[in-house]
Amino acid sequence: MKLNVFFLLLLILNIGYANEDSTFVKKIYNEALVKGEAYNNLRVLCKDIGARLTGSAEAAMAIEWAENLLESYAFDNVYLQEIKVPHWERGTKEAGWIINAEQKISKLDMLALGGSVGTGGLIEGEVIKVESIEELNQLSDQEVDGKIVFFNRPFDQKMINMFKAYGACVDQRWAGTSEASKKNAKAVVIRSLASNTDGHPHTGSMHYEDGVIQIPGAAISPNDADDLVEWLTKGKVTLRMEMDCKTFADVTSYNVIAEFKGSEDDKIITIGAHLDSWDVGEGAHDDGAGVVQCIEAFRILKKLGYRPNHTLRCVLFMNEENGNFGGKSYAEIAVENSEEHICAIETDRGGFLPMGFDVVGSDEQLEFIREITGDLKPYDLLKFNHGYGGVDIGPLRQYFPTMIQLGLNVNSQAYFDFHHSAADVFETVHQRELALGAAAMGAMLYLMDRNL
């Protein structure tokens, strides 16, 4: 009988604890949806500062804006973390044309790939089309010599998750230029990594392999890629292109950090997003949305009077797009300072409808996440599976291999319509979905702090 009473008391205590969490999560959502500030903060970041390529004046302005905004919310600590970052500039607008055997000309919508060398003036070459690096490597050096290689692999539209579709073809952007150079190609163009078909080219990072001659790399719009494919079915096509991009010496930049000090210990839970963007569009979905969601999550916890058990950090990383030196430096400095990191949560998939969180950790850690997130089900956060945390928080796992990492999982269908293109502007972000993402980040941060 006494044992039954004991278990009854435990049940009552657990119910009370669960009700307390449920009530607080509801307060987080109510604040985000009724009095949220994320959407207006994103408008300022996009419209008053704009695209924020690492090393640019706009990136420097974004750092100042973020520091001032965080200080205005009176968090326990706000500071800049100095880092070294690469400095690449696009230069004058890219120019490109295709010409067929009948001398018909069509102008291309083209963007240099991030980190590419320039062309050194107008260059010209016959186009050779391949669908993959594997197909390129099956060609003889003679077949490729002096030509411009066109990588044409599109998204697999049969895939439901567009992030997986992106991952299946991103190698042609990252490594295609060096692989083509090994066969003495003159340059590379790729079909933009996009889920839709429109006139916007999509840029993104590419990599030069050590010891391989650096040749220009560019992306053309999906529409232009379709036209080029059609022209190639009818005969020889020549491509002319000019790009003026350059790489300069590394420069000093900063991660922007805000903290809530822990009331029980100094163990650290990080939420983060990247402040930099590519230099086209406004970086609204990638990753302005994540930046304002993290700030909003912190703002809401502060307004609701929450005092965390562990130290909470909001980190706005610099240089995710072309080097990840913000994420790498943050992890290295954490080790130098003998910090203990137990969890990190990232939002870098656009301001779209949140669906749950990807979990980086053991099977036991995944089960733990599923057990503590029952209070998120009423908000349609239902997907908690092994997956990907994020580029910025990823380096922490090298030094803290037992920590849990979480990545906000969103509806992926529209993200690559905008990704790394001029279409990624403030007007494409849905105010309510952005607020729901901010609330999801705040609620998950609260639950992790309560339960770890």
Q: Is 134 tagged catalytic?
A: no
Token duo for residue 46:
């996009």
Give dist(CA 291, CA 288) in Å, integer.
5
Going by C-alpha positions, the residue among 202, 157, 145 that lies closest to residue 136 is 145
Decide if 420 contacts 280 (C-beta within 8 A): yes
Name the β-bridge partners of 218.
112, 189
**How far, in Å, CA of 248 to CA of 60, rounded?**
16
In 3D, which of 444, 433, 431, 445 has the Cα closest to residue 42?
431
**Pairing of the two strands 77-89 and 246-260:** antiparallel
Give the containing element (helix H, strand E) for 129. Answer: strand 123-130
Helix (H) or strand (E) holding 330: helix 325-336
Q: Which two tokens stand for residue 445?
A: 């941060």
Distance CA 178, CA 215 (A): 8
Tokens for 99? 């010409």
Comparing C-alpha atoms, which of 270, 451, 273 is closest to residue 369? 451
409: which strand partners? 356
Among 346, 419, 445, residue whose Cα is nearest residue 388: 346
Helix boundaries (H) for 200-284:
222-232
Catalytic residue among 320, 321, 340, 367: 320
**Sign of the alpha-carbon dihedral angle for 385, 386, 391, 392:** positive
Residue with tokens 């006494």: 2
Whole-number Cα distances in Å, 113 to 123, 241, 267: 17, 13, 40
Which residues, 6 or more positions from 245, have their beta carbon under 8 angstroms from its beta carbon? Answer: 88, 89, 90, 91, 112, 116, 117, 118
| Residues annotated as catalytic (active site), given as ranges | 320
